[in-house]
Structure 1
Amino acid sequence: MRLSNLLSGLLLCAVAGVAHADRFVFTAIPDQDERRLTERFGQIADYLQAELGVEVEYIPVKSYEAAVSAFRNDQVQLAWFGGLTGVQARRLVPGSQAIAQGAEDTAFKSYLIAHTSTGLAPMTELNDSLRGLSFTFGSKGSTSGRLMPEYYLRNAFGTAPESVFERVGFSGDHSRTIALVESGAYQIGALNYAVWDAEVAAGNVDTDAVQVIWESPTYPDYQWTIRGDVDARFGAGFTERVQQALLNMTDPTLLAAFPRSGFVPATNADYAPIEDTAVSIGLMDAQ
């Protein structure tokens, strides 16, 4: 290879590295249909770019686990995580911080929904009428679609869900959970209450076929988590600027991407109950 070609190649690599360093990238756990998330979060990228004065890009991921991996590997510097995935990511990237949560996320909750053919009625406490039926969680890494429902099921029955239900599955996301229970593929499902409420309001659920039968106590859930090295890369005070941009987001169209009414400050300590719960049912090791 000629020296001039080698130098040109090295220069291109250096320029590409600088361009990547100047681009602020974020993702979100795929808790709903990917196409809809890409459309909605593309608008968030435009908003953040205007507010921060740096190039901002949203990249979709295929799974909750992939969102955590992208954060760990520095493919993204900011992520809209659920409670559990946020705890997992911050463990893997020391110095990372939860900086904002939805106003609704300070007291989030899960729903259990059931196909009406089961004859199940709304209940305040989980009981033996659920035994022997088929059941689907959402993603294995979901706080509202797996962690907290499993915790309350274990408390109620004193055993793992696999010993309570005839069949246990994982749908992958909340929208899919609704579809599976509505179709009768599973008789019961666990999901995020906000997705259910939004889908019902949009007329996307046949409420003659599926209904809510139980809601959980509240817990902290979704949050924005940012890597601890962004100030070194994007300038002093960048973390605070990102946080303020999120807290200042008031456009209803942008907030509908989540959906949330707005954002409030968050800290890592807010999610200690989620970590404790994950440890208690064996989804995470104690530190």
Structure 2
Amino acid sequence: MRHRWICVWLSSLVAVVASLGLLSPAWSEAPKELRVSAIPDENPTELMRIYTPFAEYLSKELGIPVRYYPVVDYAATVEALAAKKLDMVWYGGFTFVQARKRTGNAIPLVSREEDLRFHSKFITRPETGIKTLADLKGKTFSFGSVSSTSGHLMPRYFLLQNGIDPEKDFAKFSFSGAHDATALWVESGKVDAGALNEAVWEKLVQAKKVDLNKVQVFWTTPPYIDYVWTVRGDLDSSLVEKIATAFTKLNYSNPVDRALMDLQRTKGYVRVKVEQFKPAEDAAIAAGLLQ
């Protein structure tokens, strides 16, 4: 009788603990599908070309289906991660800060080695006469997306640091929505100048998608930390480690790995921590983009 009473008591205790959500998420089963996305900082076709192979690679490494889901804008990636509709996202530093604030526990997992010292490029056409940041006064200007680190936050921050207030000093400024679009806007004469991600600029130059006789770099920002693969904070901890390992084990000297790494224009991935993105948060506050 006593043994039966103890069994009933233990069963009731387990039920109460489970109902209160006190059982560790690490004990839960791995998700049936890992849902991956990326901030839309280039055109949708290019993003699909880049991230579909990563989804295929991770699927093989993790032993579960991994699918890339395109999104319409930066904010959508943050909301989808918070709503647990996405499990992992390729964020810029600023969008990671936003995701961390929105979710409270988003985890920065790995960055490219190049992201630890990233830059933005300021571009213009020769006929505008723009050679320095001071020459931007009275001109038209384009940022990328409102939530872009390299296309808006850091360019705005460094403009302010150099005495240029976009709201007061530009004749007009706008948001192209993506780095490649900014380059095209400047080249076509839609705006006098713009700022964009250095990696996208280099890719456009190498692919001959910009005419260097028509558009040129006139200023490069100081270095800052930028892009990062980020996962939900409540994702199974063992799965999180497997994901990190899948990236850090990639070896650029291996032709198969190199083909994948070239898609993100890197020679290696490194683990990162939340505190490394504090400068991005401070810059966002200083630029008036975050409270």
Amino acid at match of 1:197: E
Partner of 2:14 in structure 1? none
TM-score norm. by structure 2 comes to 0.85
Q: Which runs of 5+ in 2 are unaligned?
A: 1-28, 252-256
Amino acid at match of 2:52: G
1:281 and 2:287 equivalent? Answer: yes
Which one has the largest radius of gyration? 2
Partner of 2:230 in structure 1? 225
Q: How does 1:205-216 map to 2 (within 5 A)?
A: 205-216=210-221
Query: What secondary structure is seen at the aligned counterpart in 1 of 2:162?
Result: helix
CA apart distance, 1:258: 1.9
Which whole-Å CA distance do the structure 2 matches of 1:105 and 1:20 have between them?
Answer: 30
Which whole-Å CA distance do the structure 1 matches of 2:80 and 2:284 have between them?
Answer: 21
- What percentage of residue pairs aligned between the two structures are identical? 38
Partner of 2:175 in structure 1? 170
User: Cα deviation per residue 1:66-105 (whole Å; 9 max; x = unaligned)?
Assistant: 1111111111111100000011111112222101001100
Query: What secondary structure is seen at the aligned counterpart in 2 of 1:150?
Result: helix
Q: How does 1:235-250 map to 2 (within 5 A)?
A: 236-250=237-251
TM-score norm. by structure 1 comes to 0.87
Which whole-Å CA distance do the structure 1 matches of 2:36 and 2:249 have between them?
Answer: 18
More displaced, 271-280 or 253-262? 253-262
Partner of 2:60 in structure 1? 50
Give the total of aligned pairs: 258
In structure 2, which of residues 273, 276, 280 is the aligned counterpart of residue 270 of structure 1? Answer: 276
More displaced, 86-95 or 161-170? 86-95
Q: How does 1:17-96 map to 2 (within 5 A)?
A: 21-96=31-106
Aligned-pair Cα RMSD in Å: 1.5
Contact 2:30 2:239 in 1 (8 A): no
Which whole-Å CA distance do the structure 2 matches of 1:120 and 1:44 have between them?
Answer: 40
CA apart distance, 1:63: 1.0
Which whole-Å CA distance do the structure 1 matches of 2:81 and 2:55 have between them?
Answer: 17
1:99 and 2:109 equivalent? Answer: yes
Contact 1:37 1:257 in 2 (8 A): no
CA apart distance, 1:269: 0.8
Contact 1:145 1:174 in 2 (8 A): yes
CA apart distance, 1:21: 4.1
Amino acid at match of 2:184: A
User: Cα deviation per residue 1:120-169 (whole Å; 9 max; x = unaligned)?
Assistant: 23x4xx32x21111000000000011001101111212x63021111100
Which whole-Å CA distance do the structure 2 matches of 1:152 and 1:248 have between them?
Answer: 35
Amino acid at match of 2:242: R
Which whole-Å CA distance do the structure 1 matches of 2:220 and 2:200 have between them?
Answer: 14
Partner of 1:154 in structure 2? 160
Which whole-Å CA distance do the structure 2 matches of 1:149 and 1:58 have between them?
Answer: 29
Amino acid at match of 1:156: N
